[in-house]
Amino acid sequence: MARGCSENPAFGEPERLTTRYSRRPKEKRLSPTDARSAPNRRDSLLNAYISAYQAKDARAYLSLFSQDADYVDFAVQVHAKISQLKGELASSFRREPFRLVFHSSFLSADGKSAALQGTYSDSARGGEPASVPIASFLQIAEGKITREAIYYDGSLFKRHLHAA
């Protein structure tokens, strides 16, 4: 007769397993008050990123990146160093219909990556305004963004960015 995990003496009795796991020290969770009062530079970077897009402030946006940061826009198939696209990104931020509004964000516990979800609006191929959902993924090191990868349906939009 075959033995299951709970019947095999090497695995112990189910009650013993439960008891063993329940002896682990409980993790202390921060209360919302504690979390708000603890200054966090990584949260500040994420907030500055969101604010730069909301204000359409290209200078503030570009200041958040390391000098050799990668910029990847999968919708228009651009993969370049952020430094190569500074002029074109600044031009995009100045276009009247250009908007990127974030609805939610997540920062990893170690502060090395972030994910944001929102709505991207710009002029479509025919010149009419269009909006689509967008996701932005950031890699962060030493207080700077080292990689931004954005995903959205770019079929509606003109190709505004070109790799240098």
Spell out the alpha helix ranges (H) of the chain.
14-22, 32-37, 41-55, 58-62, 86-94
Q: Half-sphere exposure of 9 toward its Cβ, with a 13 Å CA cutoff?
A: 0
Q: Token pair of 106, please?
A: 């997540």
Domain ranges (residues) in the chain:
43-156
- What is the per-residue pLDDT across 50-79, written as a single tens digit (0 to 9) for each? 999 999 999 999 999 999 999 999 988 899
Q: Beta strand pairing status for 144-152 and 65-73?
A: parallel
pTM: 0.69
In CATH, what is the architecture of 43-156?
A: Roll (3.10)
Q: Is pLDDT above 50 for 38?
A: no
Q: Which residue has the tokens 């990146």?
A: 65
pLDDT of residue 42: 60
Average pLDDT taken over every residue of the chain: 77
Question: b/e string for 123-150 if b means 16 or more Cβ within 10 A?
Answer: bbeeeeebebebebebbbeeeebbbbbb
Cβ atoms < 10 Å from Cβ of 103: 10
